[in-house]
Amino acid sequence: DAGVTQSPTHLIKTRGQQVTLRCSPKSGHDTVSWYQQALGQGPQFIFQYYEEEERQRGNFPDRFSGHQFPNYSSELNVNALLLGDSALYLCASSPVAGGPGELFFGEGSRLTVL
Amino acid sequence: RKEVEQDPGPFNVPEGATVAFNCTYSNSASQSFFWYRQDCRKEPKLLMSVYSSGNEDGRFTAQLNRASQYISLLIRDSKLSDSATYLCVERGSSASKIIFGSGTRLSIRP
């Protein structure tokens, strides 16, 4: 039973570029949440997808967008990259939106913006 | 004010000691709370849920105080393997949104 998988694991971009990160949820999970974790900080909630729609959004600009596919996998897109976007991007899945269950995290995609 | 606040530490305690840390939250409508553990350069993993009546899992005890809006985590007989960052987590009134604290770093020394 595969857990949450994310790709790529590491990537380096320059300011102004665009990046797409991918996530496949744990088998049986239909809800995907994205988090940004800067060094020494806790994960910051970006948004959550359920039934291919964005259900909830944190305090992130429109440069951050996402998508969920019919197979429940998800993408996070960041446009016009800034140095401050350098962070670990974590994808988490859960069995159902709003359910009491735990979040299962992938190992993350570490983005460095130069 | 941050929605969830934690003492960042680091807490540096000897093996076998008892250590406790708190987390405060600002949203009185928050529905549920959790403690997650994150090892260095790894993803967070659920340690335990926190119930109003308090709950215990082996050496770990979690408490919730709704009146004062804080939760706590107590670790007894600490082990070297307990060294990690402990993240306080709340699920707010909108159950889709799960908020993490910035984490408390714990280091257990031999």
Per-residue pLDDT of A75-92, as tens digits, reads: 999 999 999 999 999 999
Burial readout A30-58 (b: 16 or more C-beta within 10 A, e: otherwise):
bbbbbbbbeeeebbbbbbbbbeeeebbeb
CA-nearest residue to A101 within chain B is B49
Looking at per-residue pLDDT, the higher value among A79 and A28 belongs to A79
pLDDT at B1 over 90: no
Q: What pLDDT score was predicted for residue A107?
A: 95
* Residue B57 φ/ψ, nearest 5 degrees: -140, 95
pLDDT at A21 over 70: yes
Looking at per-residue pLDDT, the higher value among B110 and B95 belongs to B110
Q: What pLDDT score was predicted for residue A1?
A: 63
- Other CB atoms within 10 Å distance of the CB of residue B60: 17
- Name chain A contacts of B49, Cβ cutoff 8 Å: 102
Lowest-confidence range among A52-61, A91-100, B5-14, B39-48? A91-100
Q: Check CB contact under 8 Å for A100 and B96.
A: no
Residue A86 CA: distances (Å) to CA of A5, A46, A110, B97: 20, 14, 8, 23
State the average pLDDT over residues A56-78: 96
Q: What pLDDT score was predicted for residue B2?
A: 76
Q: What pLDDT score was predicted for residue B75?
A: 97
Among the listed residues B55, B52, B59, the one whose alpha carbon sits nearest the alpha carbon of residue B16: B59
| SS3 state at B7 | coil
pLDDT at B22 over 80: yes
What is the secondary structure of B47-69 as a DSSP string?
A: EEEE-TT-EEETTEEEEEETTTT
pLDDT at B59 over 60: yes
What is the secondary structure of B77-91 as a DSSP string?
A: S--GGG-EEEEEEEE
Q: What pLDDT score was predicted for residue A2?
A: 74
Q: What pLDDT score was predicted for residue B99?
A: 86
Task: Kindly compute the dihedral angle of the four CA atoms of residues A48, A49, A54, A56, in this order, to the nearest 10 degrees.
Answer: -30
Selecting from B34, B96, B99 the residue whose C-beta is nearest the C-beta of A48 gives B96
Q: What is the mean pLDDT of chain B?
A: 90
Cβ burial of B7 (10 Å; 0-12, 13-18, 19+) is middle
pLDDT at B13 over 90: yes
For chain B, percent of residues with pLDDT exceeding 90:
68
- Dist CA A18 CA A11 (whole Å): 12
Lowest-confidence range among A57-61, A91-95, A98-102, B63-67? A98-102
B94 interface with A at CB cutoff 8 Å? yes
pLDDT at B29 over 60: yes
Q: What pLDDT score was predicted for residue A8?
A: 97
Q: What pLDDT score was predicted for residue B71?
A: 94
Task: Bin B54: left if φ > 0, else alpha if -120 < ψ < 50, else beta.
Answer: left
- Name chain B contacts of A56, Cβ cutoff 8 Å: 94, 96-97
Structure tokens at B19: 């250590």
What is the secondary structure of A24-93 as a DSSP string?
A: EPPTT--EEEEEEE-TTS--EEEEEEETTEEEEE-S--TTEEEEE-TTS-EEEEE-S--GGG-EEEEEEE
Cβ burial of A10 (10 Å; 0-12, 13-18, 19+) is exposed
